[in-house]
């Protein structure tokens, strides 16, 4: 029998993220919120953050909502509403800044996928620190996927589905952010094992 994290404190945060992203898609305000390098350089700094929550189209949103649900299934019980909000907000800022600083060829960018790569890396580290061997498999698997994306480039099929180029460098930035968020977990894990 599946032991799903169905308590409200585990369900509410990812559900809010799905509702927020869906509401923004329904409003159709991408032009006001997307990562637009030219407008950011003119001072519209909110786009570094808000771009993570808008999507190229409904298929793009659907893929990211599926990712939110998958991460909830894997790691929902690890986060409180405050921890979930902190991780999402921190990674959203990190990814926006990372794309701005390290991906000069990206002029327009939207979507949660970079943030979700960070969240799943953080969850894999948490798995490892609570003694789940599957955390190692997940951690390594995500990095293998990221390396494959760096070598082979973005998926043309996914790009066609979302009517946009998949920002594989943003995925890498998100995963690095998730690993950095996991550093306190690793430090605590190491110090606990030394006792």
Q: H-helix or E-strand containing 149?
A: helix 134-152
User: What pLDDT is stored for residue 193 in this prediction?
Assistant: 80
The answer to whether residue 86 is domain-embedded is yes
C-alpha to C-alpha distances, 193 to 124, 188, 189, 190, nearest whole angstrom: 18, 9, 6, 5
Domain containing residue 47: CATH number: 1.20.1540.10
| Pairwise pLDDT comparison (185 vs 164), residue with the higher score | 185
pLDDT tens per residue across span 100-150: 999 999 999 999 999 999 999 999 999 999 999 999 999 999 999 999 999
Contact 106, 99 (CB under 8 A): yes
Does some domain include residue 17?
A: yes
Domain-located, residue 77: yes
Q: Is 3 within the bounds of a domain?
A: no
Where are the extended beta strands (E) located within 16-143?
35-36, 108-109
Interatomic CA distance for residues 160 and 86, integer angstroms: 32
**Cα dist from 48 to 56, 58, 92, 135, whole Å:** 16, 21, 8, 30
Percent of residues, the chain, with pLDDT higher than 90: 86
How does strand 108-109 pair with strand 35-36? Answer: antiparallel
Domain range enclosing 173 = 8-194
The domain tally of the chain equals 1
Is 2 part of any domain?
Answer: no
96 lies in some domain? yes
Contact 78, 123 (CB under 8 A): yes
Q: Say if 1 falls within a structural domain.
A: no
Global pTM? 0.94
**Domain assignment of residue 186, yes or no:** yes
Q: How confident is the model at residue 1 (pLDDT cuts 50, 70, 90)?
A: very low
CA dihedral 20, 119, 84, 19 (to 10 degrees): 10
């Amino acid at each position: 029998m599946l032991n799903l994290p169905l308590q409200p404190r585990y369900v509410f945060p990812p559900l809010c993220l799905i509702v927020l992203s869906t509401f923004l898609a329904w409003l159709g305000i991408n032009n006001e919120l997307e990562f637009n390098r030219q407008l950011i350089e003119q001072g519209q700094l909110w786009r570094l953050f808000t771009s993570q929550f808008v999507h190229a189209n409904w298929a793009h949103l659907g893929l990211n909502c599926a990712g939110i649900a998958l991460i909830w299934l894997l790691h929902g019980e690890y986060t409180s509403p405050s921890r979930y909000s902190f991780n999402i907000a921190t990674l959203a800022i990190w990814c926006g800044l990372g794309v701005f600083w390290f991906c000069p060829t990206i002029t327009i960018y939207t979507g949660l996928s970079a943030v979700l790569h960070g969240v799943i890396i953080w969850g894999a580290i948490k798995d490892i620190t609570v003694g789940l061997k599957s955390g190692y498999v997940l951690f390594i698997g995500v990095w293998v996927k990221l390396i494959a994306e760096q070598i082979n480039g973005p998926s043309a099929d996914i790009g066609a589905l979302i009517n946009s180029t998949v920002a594989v460098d943003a995925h890498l930035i998100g995963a690095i952010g998730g690993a950095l968020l996991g550093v306190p977990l690793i430090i605590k894990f190491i110090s606990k094992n030394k006792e």
